Structure 1
Amino acid sequence: MDRKEIEIQVYGAEQICASCVNLPSSKETSDWLEAALARKFPGQPFTVTYIDIFNPHEDQMKQDFSKRVIDEDLFYPVVVIEGEIVGEGNPQLKTIVKEMEKFGYRLFKDGN
């Protein structure tokens, strides 16, 4: 199955949101996600982009979504794949993996 290389966007801020005090920072979550997904989908290209919601990106769509995170008081980090929110606050790897599989990514299993 052909797959489109997707961009996984992680929106957040250096300051941890009030309800996320014991969780990793948005940047740490972005780095963890990139490493975890690289292990799950070896040799299958994708991009993980960290976007600081208080330091707007030059891309207008990313600026608009950053504003939405702030305006709607979304719990960050907010993980977005192809315009769909797939994780918020404490994103679940299993949910993100399932979303990537919808785009043709094949999960690596030992022995395959």
Structure 2
Amino acid sequence: MTKQLSIYVYGAEQLCASCVNLPSSKETYEWLQAAIERKYPEQPFKIEYIDIFNPPEDEAKKEFANRVIEEDLFYPLVLIEDKIVGEGNPRLKTIFSEMEKYGYHSAS
């Protein structure tokens, strides 16, 4: 059985300055969730959206949200486990490639 991956999408209501013509962070989160469910049906994963300006109480998530702000990282920022796999305009190919390192297999 494949280990359940934790995928985090860090973002904000407002678009980052370099991402003006791109979807919002929340839209990217929803799109990514649907794409992963289609690609890896019945394979466990947890995906969570985290607002960088209003993060949850979890200390690690708060710290990373603060890092996104302080280091001017592009968002939405996609994190799988502890690895950044996408910034600004995340690429499915990169995200899928990282998931496959953990044993995920494409349905098609």
Shorter-chain TM-score tier: over 0.9
Question: In the alignment, which residue of structure 2 is the partner of 1:97?
Answer: 96
Instruction: Please tell me the residue identity of whatever aligns with 1:19.
Output: S
CA distance in 1, matches of 2:33, 2:55: 21
Instruction: Please tell me the residue identity of whatever aligns with 2:12.
Output: A
Question: In the alignment, which residue of structure 1 is the partner of 2:76?
Answer: 77
Deviation at 1:87?
0.2
Question: In the alignment, which residue of structure 2 is the partner of 1:15?
Answer: 14
TM-score by length of 1: 0.94
State yes or no: 1:60 paired with 2:59: yes
Task: Structure 1: state its 5+ residue gaps.
Answer: none
Deviation at 1:22?
0.3
Q: CA RMSD in A?
A: 0.7
CA distance in 2, matches of 1:7, 1:56: 16
CA distance in 1, matches of 2:43, 2:54: 30
Identity %: 66
CA distance in 2, matches of 1:38, 1:78: 19
TM-score by length of 2: 0.98
CA distance in 1, matches of 2:74, 2:50: 14
Structure 1 consecutive aligned stretches of length 4 or more whose deviation exceeds 2 Å: none
Question: In the alignment, which residue of structure 1 is the partner of 2:26?
Answer: 27
Residue correspondences, number: 108
Deviation at 1:23?
0.2
CA distance in 2, matches of 1:62, 1:41: 26
State yes or no: 1:40 paired with 2:39: yes
